[in-house]
Amino acid sequence: MNYSAIFKGRARALVTDIPAFSVLLIIALVCVCISVFGSGESSSRMPVAVINADKGPYGEEMIKILQLEPEYEFYETDEDSAEHDIADNKAHGMIYIKPDFSDKITAGEYESLVSVTVMSDSYDLTAFSEVVINDAIKVWMESLTERKLESICGASEEEILTFREDSKDIWAGKSLIDAAGHMLEEEESASEEDEYNYSGIRWYAALSLFYLMIAGTWMCGYGSGGLIKRVLLKGGNLGILFAVQALPGILVTMLGLIPVLFAEKSSASPLLLLLAYFLYALGASGMALVVCSLSGKFSNLVLLAPVMTMAVSLLSGLLVKLPDWAGFWDILSVVLPGHFFHLAVQGKPFITGALITGIAWFVLGMLFTRLLGKVRRS
């Protein structure tokens, strides 16, 4: 058999199949938009809960100054709500303004004014504490200026030296705040990353499976005994024939992934992601072969393709992390190619698992069609 001619013919058919090719273009465009808007969300101000237990004027003044910070979204709430927000990943930290905040500020004291809780896996504790320290200093300096405005010109040298020493201690941040890191459980922090990061890349992988199915009407004949018999009579190999015919679709979808990778920077190398996608698409082609062979005709394929796409993508953990009650499926997700592509997107080791699942599903698709062909012949 002339496999080169078959490859060129399949590639030509893909490009000239305007409806199916339009679907891939739309998928790529939508995923680029998801990537762009998703990146915009990740660069927005970081939410931080503020609990004000102080009844004096300077607690409110501290909140006002905090809310001027450009990198953070400080919002006032109660302690229970703040703890729930941290647990639900709605807040990256919590600031507790202590009940004696105004009293200490008025008395010129600066020890243990506020306490800070930060998710250690979310943001650097020292960098975050610096912001709170600086803003507390502004309040402290404002109070000091108000109290000593009339007498500052008559301050003695000893007072000036004492003030300088006090300022050094404050800037060092050794006693101004009680800082405590709050480390989420590994599963919780992974949940946030799975749900929000690199959504455009992951959605493209999921939706490109749908494209491989609807553009694979040629696979519908693989479940018939007639095709197998003709290939064998011509001295061909059914596995090589399928690989040659599937390769153009894999390459076309890889090209569609490139603009998505440019729009959304992953922690992994783009070349590694293309390799991961190739292995994912290899396994996805095997899945598509099973679905197309079972469908038998395009009308059935149109009904099955969307259902199979979403089911496989969700069960593999490609789109969202599986909930706690679905622990059984979370374990089984390792047999699906989407699981390892998701690991690749996060910059984690994937090659061994992706290679095994990609080849396994490709071979499984071939074995299934051979079995289906024998059943239909009988």
Confidence (pLDDT) at 34: 79
Contacting residues for 235 by C-beta, under 8 A, at least 6 apart: 1
Residues 288 and 327 in one domain: yes
Candidates 279, 277, 310, 284; CA nearest to 212 is: 284
CA 58 from centre of chain: 40
| 74 membership: H or E segment, kind and range | strand 72-76
Residues 90 and 115 in one domain: yes
Residues 155 and 263 in one domain: no
Residues 95 and 120 in one domain: yes
Q: What is the 3-state secondary structure (H, E, C) of 319-346?
A: CCCCCHHHHHHHHHHHHCHHHHHHHHHC
Q: Tokens at residue 338, please?
A: 């989407």
Number of domains present in the structure of the chain: 2
Residues 228 and 336 in one domain: yes
The residue out of 184, 217, 248 marking a domain boundary is 184
Query: pLDDT per position in the chain (378 positions), as tens?
Result: 677 888 888 888 888 888 888 888 898 898 888 777 765 444 467 888 899 999 888 888 888 888 877 778 889 999 888 888 888 778 888 889 999 888 888 777 777 788 887 765 555 556 667 777 777 776 677 566 555 644 555 555 665 456 545 654 554 444 455 545 444 444 444 444 444 466 788 889 888 888 888 776 666 666 555 555 666 566 666 677 778 888 888 999 999 999 988 887 666 788 889 999 999 999 888 888 888 777 767 677 777 778 888 888 888 878 777 666 666 776 778 888 888 888 888 888 888 988 999 899 888 888 887 777 677 666
The residue out of 184, 217, 235 marking a domain boundary is 184
Domain that includes residue 222, residue range: 3-40+190-377
Q: Tokens at residue 37, please?
A: 């808007």
Residues 170 and 211 in one domain: no
Contacting residues for 116 by C-beta, under 8 A, at least 6 apart: 93, 94, 95, 96, 125, 128, 129, 132, 177, 178, 179, 180
Residues 90 and 127 in one domain: yes
Contacting residues for 125 by C-beta, under 8 A, at least 6 apart: 116, 118, 179, 181
Confidence (pLDDT) at 279: 92
Residues 65 and 99 in one domain: yes
Residues 199 and 120 in one domain: no
Confidence (pLDDT) at 255: 92
Residues 213 and 332 in one domain: yes
Confidence (pLDDT) at 220: 66
Residues 123 and 16 in one domain: no
Candidates 292, 316, 118; CA nearest to 217 is: 292
The residue out of 164, 184, 204 marking a domain boundary is 184
CA quadruple 134, 136, 141, 146: dihedral, nearest 10: 150
Residues 231 and 207 in one domain: yes
> Residue 67 maps to which CATH number?
3.40.1710
